[in-house]
Amino acid sequence: MLNPKLKLNPKIFSDDVEQIPIRTGFGQGLMQAGEIDKNVVALCADLTESTQMHFFANKFPERFVQIGVAEQNLVTVASGMSAMGKIPFCSSYAMFSPGRNWEQIRTTIAYNDRKVVIVGSHSGISVGPDGGTHQALEDTALMRVMPNMDVVSPCDAIEAKKATMALAKSKKPAYLRLVREKTPVITTEETPFELGKSNIFWMPDVGLAQVGIMVTGGLMHHALLAAKELEGEGIKIKVMNMASIKPIDVNAILELAKETKAIVTVEEHQIAGGMGGAVAEVLAQNYPVPIEFIGIKDTFGQSGTPDELIEHYGIGKNSIKEMVRKVLKRKV
Amino acid sequence: MLTEEKIKELEKKANDIRISIIEMLLEAKSGHSAGPLGMADIFTLLYFHTLKHDPKNPFWEERDRLVLSNGHICPVFYATMAHAGYFPVKELQTLRKFGTRLQGHPHREYMPWLENSSGPLGSGLSQAVGMALADRIDNGANTSRLVYCLMSDGELDEGNSWEGIMLAGKYKLRNLIAIVDRNNIQIDGYTEDIMPLEPLADKWRAFNWHVIETVGHDFKSLNEAFEEAQAIYEKPTVIIAHTVPGKGVHEFERDYKWHGKAPNKEEAKLALDELRTLSGKIKSEHQ
Instruction: Mutate one of A69, A72, A97 to test the B interface: name it (highest B CB count within 10 A).
Output: A72
User: CA distances (Å), B73 to each of A265, B37, B79, B245, in order?
Assistant: 47, 9, 11, 11
pLDDT tens for chain B, 287 residues long, are 899 999 999 999 999 999 999 999 999 999 999 999 999 999 999 999 999 999 999 999 999 999 999 999 999 999 999 999 999 999 999 999 999 999 999 999 999 999 999 999 999 999 999 999 999 999 998 899 999 999 999 999 999 999 999 999 999 999 999 999 999 999 999 999 999 999 999 999 999 999 999 999 999 999 999 999 999 999 999 999 999 999 999 999 998 889 889 999 999 999 999 999 876 666 544 44
Among the partner-chain residues A83, A103, A113, the one whose CB lies closest to the CB of B131 is A83
DSSP per-residue codes, A133-157: GG-B-SHHHHHHTSTT-EEE--SSH
User: Does B141 fall in a domain?
Assistant: yes
Residues of B in Cβ contact (< 8 Å) with A112: 108, 116-117
User: Does B282 fall in a domain?
Assistant: no
pLDDT at B141: 85
User: Does B193 fall in a domain?
Assistant: yes
* Domains in chain B, number: 1
For residue B24, the domain's CATH number is 3.40.50.970
User: Does B285 fall in a domain?
Assistant: no
DSSP B91: G
List CB contacts of A209: < 8 A, sequence separation 6 or more. A203, A236, A237, A238, A256, A259, A260
What range defines the domain where residue B194 resides? Answer: 4-276
Surface of A (210-229) touching B: CB under 8 A: none
Nearest to A255 by CA among A217, A220, A287: A287
Q: What is the pTM of this model?
A: 0.96
**ipTM higher than 0.85?**
yes
User: Does B66 fall in a domain?
Assistant: yes
Domains annotated for chain A, with CATH where assigned, are: 4-16+192-330 (3.40.50.920), 19-184 (3.40.50.970)
Among the partner-chain residues A80, A88, A104, the one whose CB lies closest to the CB of B129 is A80
Chain A residue with Cα closest to B129: A77
DSSP per-residue codes, B159-214: HHHHHHHHHHHHTT-TTEEEEEEE--EETTEEHHHHS---SHHHHHHHTT-EEEEE
Chain A residue with Cα closest to B121: A104
**Phi, psi of A244, deg, nearest 5:** -90, 110
pLDDT at A332: 79
List CB contacts of A47: < 8 A, sequence separation 6 or more. A53, A91, A92, A93, A121
pLDDT at B286: 46
- Contact assignment for B120 to A112 by CB distance below 8 Å: no
How far from the centroid of its chain's Cα atoms is residue B276's Cα? 22
User: Does B283 fall in a domain?
Assistant: no
**Nearest 10 degrees: Cα torsion A275, A278, A284, A290:** 0
- Kindly give the parts of chain A with pLDDT less than 70: none
Radius of gyration of chain B (CA): 18
